[in-house]
Amino acid sequence: MNETALIESAMKARAQAYAPYSNFAVGAALRARSGKVYLGANVENASYGLTMCAERVALGRAVVEGEREFEVLVICLKNGGSPCGACRQVLYEFSPNLRILMVDEKGTLVKEASLSELLPEGFGPSSL
């Protein structure tokens, strides 16, 4: 799937977000090295700490399907934005050099960065 299609997929995933408390919908499209794409949307909870981020939902779906290597992640949210610190750490476990495309709600690219740029000196399996 090319990057335009990944962006469209992240936008569609965003439309499925469950965000009744913040009204801050996020969608994610994670492409594995196999070429398969996994979607995620944020899922809020009345107990705010139990909210699941779109990026981790997509990653969890991929891991359940046996994926362990990833190439690119597109996240779609109002005005664009980067993954939170927790998502950065969880993604780093699998793909320290993951490309991340951050797009706004219209699909316009706001920023592109590698995960290692967003999480310098990340803690991973080699840190143990």
Are the CB atoms for 122 and 116 separated by under 8 Å? yes
Would the pLDDT of 22 be above 90? yes
What's the order of all strands across the beta sheet hosting 99-103?
37-41, 26-32, 70-77, 99-103, 109-114
Would the pLDDT of 118 be above 90? yes
Among the options 3, 8, 44, 55, which is catalytic? 55
Q: For residue range 41-87, what is the model confidence (pLDDT) as tens digits?
A: 999 999 999 999 999 999 999 999 999 999 999 999 999 999 999 99
CATH no. of 3-119 = 3.40.140.10
Give me 71's structure tokens.
Answer: 């190439």
Domain ranges of the chain: 3-119
Are the CB atoms for 110 and 104 separated by under 8 Å? yes
* CB hemisphere CA count around 71 (13 angstroms): 12
Q: How confident is the model at residue 125 (pLDDT cuts 50, 70, 90)?
A: confident
Is 3 considered catalytic here?
no
